Structure 1
C-alpha cells in the first residue's frame, strides 16, 4: 500500500498540532569514510526503534538522499515526545559516539531543525500520490469544495466522514 497511487486530490485531515523535525548529515570529505560511515550507520537503529514503538511519538518519516547530504523528515505528536526521545537511550548513545569519534572534525556535518506547527498553521495538497509526508502522519481526506484552495485549507478546520485512505 505504501506505493499505491491514489488518484485525485487529497489534503491533510487537520485535527491536531504537529512537530516537524528535519535531521541529517552532510559528507564533507568523501575520502574520510571512517569518519562519516559510523554517523550514517547510527540512524537505521533509531529509525527502526521509532517505527516499531509508535508510543514514542514519531507519527511518520520520509528519507531523502542527495550526493553529499541525507535528510530524514519526521512528524512528531509533540515537542515533548521529541525532547524525551532525544534524551533517551538510543539517541544519547549515538550522540555520545558522534562526539567521541567526530567532535569538530570537518569530515562530516550533522544538522537538525524543529518546527512546532499549530493545526491552524499548515496545509497540504497531494495529487495522484501514494500516502506521503504530513498526509501519511496525520491521515488524509479527499479534497472537497470546503478545502479546494490554499486559503481554505490553511485557514479552516474541516473534516470528512472517515478518512479516504
Structure 2
C-alpha cells in the first residue's frame, strides 16, 4: 500500500535529543538461505514487540531489504535502546545469543549496527513532496513556514546555528 505524499515542505519536530540506531544484516553466502532466513526472522518479532511496548522507547523506523538490509530507527534515548537489548523478556537477547553461538563464526551472515546520540541542537531536516518519513514520522511532521525556509533557518531554530558559531 503506497503512502500518500504530502505536497509542500515539512520538517521534523523532535521534543528533545534523539538516538539514531542503524542496524542490518548481509547475506554473505546467499545459498545458505535457511541460515539467512533464520537470522532475518528475528527482526520482525522485535519490531512487533516494540510496536506494542511504547515504554521500550522506539519512536519509529524505516527498513530496506536486499542482500544487505538496513533498518534506521529512532529512540527516546541510548538508555532505552540498551535496556531493550539487555531485557531477558524482550525478543532481542535470545536471537542475539543464538546468532553469536551458531552463526557468527561461520561468516554465512553478517550483522552490523551503529548508534548515534543526537542532541536536538544537532538536527536539521526537510521533506518535500514526501510521505511521512524519517525523523518527522517518528516525532512530529511540521509544515515549513515563516522562518524555517532554509537549512540555515531550521538549523538556527533548533540551536544548531548557535552551537556551530560557538565552536
Q: Calculate the aligned-residue CA RMSD, in Å.
A: 1.6
Instruction: Please give the TM-score of this superposition, normalised by the length of structure 1.
Output: 0.90
- Asked if 1:36 is matched to 2:12, the reply is no
Give 2:6's aligned residue: 6
Cα deviation, residue 53, structure 1? 1.0
Deviations 1:103-149 (CA, angstroms, capped at 9, x unpaired): 21111100000010000101111111111110011101110121111
Q: Does the 8 Å contact 2:11/2:136 carry over to 1? A: yes
Q: Does the 8 Å contact 1:19/1:79 carry over to 2? A: yes
Larger strand proportion, structure 1 or 2? 1
Give 2:51's aligned residue: 51
* Distance in 2 separating the partners of 1:157 and 1:107: 44
* Distance in 2 separating the partners of 1:2 and 1:50: 23
* Distance in 1 separating the partners of 2:109 and 2:14: 38
* Distance in 1 separating the partners of 2:111 and 2:156: 35
Instruction: Please give the TM-score of this superposition, normalised by the length of structure 2.
Output: 0.89
Give 2:87's aligned residue: 88
Alignment of 1:1-165 (within 5 A): 3-66=3-66, 68-89=67-88, 90-157=91-158
* Distance in 2 separating the partners of 1:2 and 1:119: 30
How many matched pairs?
157
| Unpaired segments ≥5 residues, structure 1 | 159-165
Cα deviation, residue 76, structure 1? 0.1
Q: Against the structure 1 CA distance between its residues 2 and 82, is the aligned structure 2 distance closer, same or farther, given a 3 Å change threshold?
A: farther
State the secondary structure of the residue aligned to 1:97: helix
Q: Does the 8 Å contact 1:9/1:142 carry over to 2? A: yes
Q: Does the 8 Å contact 1:58/1:75 carry over to 2? A: yes
Cα deviation, residue 3, structure 1? 1.2
Deviations 1:71-95 (CA, angstroms, capped at 9, x unpaired): 1110000010001001013211111
Task: Please identify runs of 4+ aligned residues in structure 1 that moved more than 4 A.
Answer: none
